Structure 1
Amino acid sequence: MSWFAALRDTAKAGLTLDRSLTNPMRALRGAVAAGLVVLPTLAVLGPSQATSAAMGAFIAGTATFQRSFRPRASLAVAAGIGLGMSTFLGYLAVGVPVAFVALLALWAFGAGMAWAVGPTAGVVAATTLAVMLVVVELPVSVTGALGHGLLCALGGAVQALVVLAWPIDSWRAQRDALADTYAALADYARRLRQDPTAHVDPEPFVVARQAAALTPWQERRRPPELRGLRTIAERIRPTLAALADPKVGAPAEGPERDRARHILAGAAQVLDGLARAIRSGDPFTMPEDSASLALARPATDGPGLRGAARRSARRLVGLLGKAADRLDREDRSAVTPAAPAGTGLRRPPLFRVVPSALRTVRRQFQPRSAVFQHALRLSGVAVFAYLAARISGIHHGYWAPMTAAMVMRPDFAQTYSRGVARLAGTTAGVLIATGVVQLFHPGPWVLAVLAVLCMGGAYLTLRTGYALMTVCVSSYVVFLLGLQPGDPVRTALERVVMTLLGGALALGAYALFPTWQTSRLPERLAEWLAAAGRYSAAVLAAFGDPAGPSPDLVRAALLDSREARSEMLAALDRAEVEPVHRTGTELTRKQIERARTAVGLLGRSTVLMEAHLPGPDSEPVPGAAGFADDVRDATAVAAAAVLLGQGVDFTQLRAEHARWDAELAARPADDRIEVARAGAKLVMHALAELEKAVRPRATAAPADPAGAVPSRA
Structure 2
Amino acid sequence: MDSLLPIDALRQQWRLLFHHAQPLRVLLALASLMAGARLAGHQEAVIPLFLGTIASALAETDDSWRGRLRALLVTLGCFSAVGAVVQALFGLSWVFIAVFCLVAFGLTLLGAIGARYKAIAYGTLILAMYATISAEHAVAAHGPGRHWHEPVLLVAGAAWYGLISVLWCAVFPSQPVQARLVRLFRELGEYVRYKASLFEPLRGVDVERKRLALAGLNARVVAALNEAKEAIFSRLGPRAPTGRLARYRGLYLIAQDVHERASSSHEDYNALADAFFHSDLLYRCRRVLWLQGEACTRLAHSVERREPFVMDGQSVQALAELRSAIAHARATADAAGLARLPAIEALARNLALLDGQLAGASHTAHPSARLGRTDMSLFDRSARDWRDALARVRRQLTVRSPLFRHAVRLSVALAAGYGVMHAVQLPEGYWIMLTTIFVCQPGYGETIARMGQRVAGTALGVVAGWALIELFPQPLLQSVFAVVAGVVFFANRSTRYLLATAAMTLLVLMCFNQITDSARLIQPRLIDTAIGSLIAGLAVLLVLPHWQARRLHEIAAQAMRHHAAYLRQIASQYDSGARDDLAYRLARRNAHNSDAALATAVTEMFREPGFARRRAGVAVRFVIQSHTLLSYLSALGAHRAALPDGARVALLREAAAQAATALEQLAAAVEAGTPGQGADAPARRQLAAWAGDAAAHEADETEARLRLMRTELLLVWVQIDVLQQHAVDWLAVAEPASGGTAERSDGTTSPDGAVGTTARQGPVLAADAQSGRAGLPGKPN
What TM-score do the two structures reach when normalised by structure 1?
Answer: 0.81
Q: CA deviation at 1:503?
A: 1.5
Q: CA deviation at 1:573?
A: 1.0
Match of 2:300 among 267, 275, 278: 278
Letter in 2 for 1:283: P
Q: 1:298 to 1:228 in 2, by over 3 A?
A: farther
Q: Which residue of 2 aligns with 1:12?
A: none
Match of 1:414 among 435, 438, 446: 446
SS of match in other structure, 2:53: helix
Q: Which residue of 1 aligns with 2:228?
A: 211
Please give the alpha-carbon distance, in whole angstroms, between the structure 2 residues aligned to 1:451 and 1:39. 12
SS of match in other structure, 1:222: helix
Letter in 2 for 1:89: V
Match of 1:589 among 606, 613, 616: 616
Contact map agreement 1:426 1:499 (CA 8 A) in 2? yes
Q: 1:629 to 1:351 in 2, by over 3 A?
A: closer
Letter in 2 for 1:364: Q
Q: 1:434 to 1:347 in 2, by over 3 A?
A: farther
Matched, 1:506 2:556: no
Q: How does 1:241-260 map to 2 (within 5 A)?
A: 245=267, 253=275, 258-259=280-281
Quote the RMSD (CA, aligned, Å): 4.5
Please give the alpha-carbon distance, in whole angstroms, between the structure 2 residues aligned to 1:191 and 1:83. 53
Match of 1:370 among 402, 421, 426: 402
Q: Which residue of 1 aligns with 2:747?
A: none
Match of 1:682 among 715, 718, 733: 715
Q: 1:275 to 1:433 in 2, by over 3 A?
A: closer
Please give the alpha-carbon distance, in whole angstroms, between the structure 1 residues aligned to 2:370 and 2:507. 46
Worse-matched range after superposition: 679-688 or 79-88: 79-88
Please give the alpha-carbon distance, in whole angstroms, between the structure 1 residues aligned to 2:397 and 2:324. 56
Q: Which residue of 1 aligns with 2:3?
A: none
Please give the alpha-carbon distance, in whole angstroms, between the structure 2 residues aligned to 1:433 and 1:241. 49
Q: 1:99 to 1:449 in 2, by over 3 A?
A: farther
Match of 1:424 among 411, 433, 456: 456
Aligned residues: 681
Q: How does 1:132-281 map to 2 (within 5 A)?
A: 132-136=128-132, 137-138=134-135, 139=138, 141=146, 144=149, 147-148=152-153, 150-161=155-166, 163-164=168-169, 167=172, 170=176, 171-194=178-201, 199=211, 201-203=217-219, 204-213=221-230, 214-215=232-233, 217=235, 219-220=241-242, 222=244, 225-237=247-259, 239=261, 245=267, 253=275, 258-259=280-281, 261-281=283-303
Q: Which residue of 2 aligns with 1:605?
A: 632
Q: 1:342 to 1:50 in 2, by over 3 A?
A: farther
Please give the alpha-carbon distance, in whole angstroms, between the structure 1 residues aligned to 2:369 and 2:685. 50
SS of match in other structure, 2:101: helix
Q: Which residue of 1 aligns with 2:100?
A: 104
Worse-matched range after superposition: 79-88 or 527-536: 79-88
Match of 1:574 among 569, 579, 604: 604
Letter in 1 for 2:668: A
Q: 1:400 to 1:164 in 2, by over 3 A?
A: same
Q: CA deviation at 1:605?
A: 2.7
Please give the alpha-carbon distance, in whole angstroms, between the structure 2 residues aligned to 1:355 and 1:447. 50
Worse-matched range after superposition: 393-402 or 279-288: 279-288
Deviations 1:21-53 (A, max 9, x none): 994564454222222234325654834543322
SS of match in other structure, 1:367: coil
Q: 1:246 to 1:141 in 2, by over 3 A?
A: closer
Q: CA deviation at 1:405?
A: 0.6
Matched, 1:709 2:772: no
Contact map agreement 2:261 2:354 (CA 8 A) in 1? no
Please give the alpha-carbon distance, in whole angstroms, between the structure 1 residues aligned to 2:572 and 2:688. 15
Letter in 2 for 1:228: G
SS of match in other structure, 2:763: coil
Q: Which residue of 1 aligns with 2:55?
A: 59
SS of match in other structure, 1:657: helix
Deviations 1:109-144 (A, max 9, x none): 234335546778656644432332233333474764
Q: Which residue of 2 aligns with 1:519?
A: 550
Please give the alpha-carbon distance, in whole angstroms, between the structure 1 residues aligned to 2:371 and 2:267. 37
Q: CA deviation at 1:682?
A: 1.6
Please give the alpha-carbon distance, in whole angstroms, between the structure 1 residues aligned to 2:66 and 2:494. 17
Match of 1:323 among 339, 358, 361: 358
Contact map agreement 1:536 1:628 (CA 8 A) in 2? yes
Q: 1:390 to 1:242 in 2, by over 3 A?
A: closer
Deviations 1:479-537 (A, max 9, x none): 3344555x644443333322222122111222223322233222222222232233234
Q: 1:373 to 1:276 in 2, by over 3 A?
A: same
Letter in 2 for 1:401: M
Q: Which residue of 1 aligns with 2:9?
A: none
Q: 1:308 to 1:522 in 2, by over 3 A?
A: closer
Contact map agreement 2:562 2:591 (CA 8 A) in 1? yes
SS of match in other structure, 1:711: coil
Contact map agreement 2:188 2:293 (CA 8 A) in 1? no
Q: CA deviation at 1:457?
A: 3.2
Contact map agreement 2:264 2:632 (CA 8 A) in 1? no
Q: CA deviation at 1:368?
A: 1.7
Deviations 1:282-317 (A, max 9, x none): 33344465x642426995798357867546534532
Worse-matched range after superposition: 381-390 or 701-710: 701-710
Contact map agreement 1:82 1:128 (CA 8 A) in 2? yes
SS of match in other structure, 1:192: coil
Q: Which residue of 1 aligns with 2:741?
A: none
Please give the alpha-carbon distance, in whole angstroms, between the structure 2 residues aligned to 1:554 and 1:337. 20
Please give the alpha-carbon distance, in whole angstroms, between the structure 1 residues aligned to 2:374 and 2:508. 44
SS of match in other structure, 1:344: coil
Q: CA deviation at 1:382?
A: 1.1
SS of match in other structure, 1:648: coil
Letter in 1 for 2:777: V
Q: CA deviation at 1:269?
A: 1.0
Q: CA deviation at 1:560?
A: 1.6
Please give the alpha-carbon distance, in whole angstroms, between the structure 1 residues aligned to 2:764 and 2:605. 32
Q: CA deviation at 1:688?
A: 1.8
Contact map agreement 1:129 1:402 (CA 8 A) in 2? no
Letter in 1 for 2:125: L
SS of match in other structure, 2:160: helix
Q: Which residue of 2 aligns with 1:401?
A: 433
Contact map agreement 1:598 1:711 (CA 8 A) in 2? no
Letter in 1 for 2:395: R
Q: Which residue of 2 aligns with 1:529?
A: 560
Give the fraction of aligned pairs with identical amino acids, expressed as a percent. Answer: 19
Please give the alpha-carbon distance, in whole angstroms, between the structure 2 residues aligned to 1:435 and 1:236. 52
Contact map agreement 1:114 1:122 (CA 8 A) in 2? yes
SS of match in other structure, 1:634: helix
Q: Which residue of 2 aligns with 1:639?
A: 667
Please give the alpha-carbon distance, in whole angstroms, between the structure 1 residues aligned to 2:539 and 2:554. 25
Q: CA deviation at 1:180?
A: 2.1
Matched, 1:469 2:487: no
Residue segments in structure 1 that go unaligned for 5+ positions in a row = 1-19
Contact map agreement 2:489 2:504 (CA 8 A) in 1? yes
Contact map agreement 1:21 1:463 (CA 8 A) in 2? no
Q: 1:166 to 1:671 in 2, by over 3 A?
A: closer
Worse-matched range after superposition: 533-542 or 249-258: 249-258
Please give the alpha-carbon distance, in whole angstroms, between the structure 1 residues aligned to 2:30 and 2:162. 11
Please give the alpha-carbon distance, in whole angstroms, between the structure 1 residues aligned to 2:250 and 2:396. 34
Contact map agreement 2:185 2:296 (CA 8 A) in 1? no
Residue segments in structure 2 that go unaligned for 5+ positions in a row = 1-12, 139-144, 331-340, 695-699, 738-758, 769-773
Q: CA deviation at 1:403?
A: 0.6
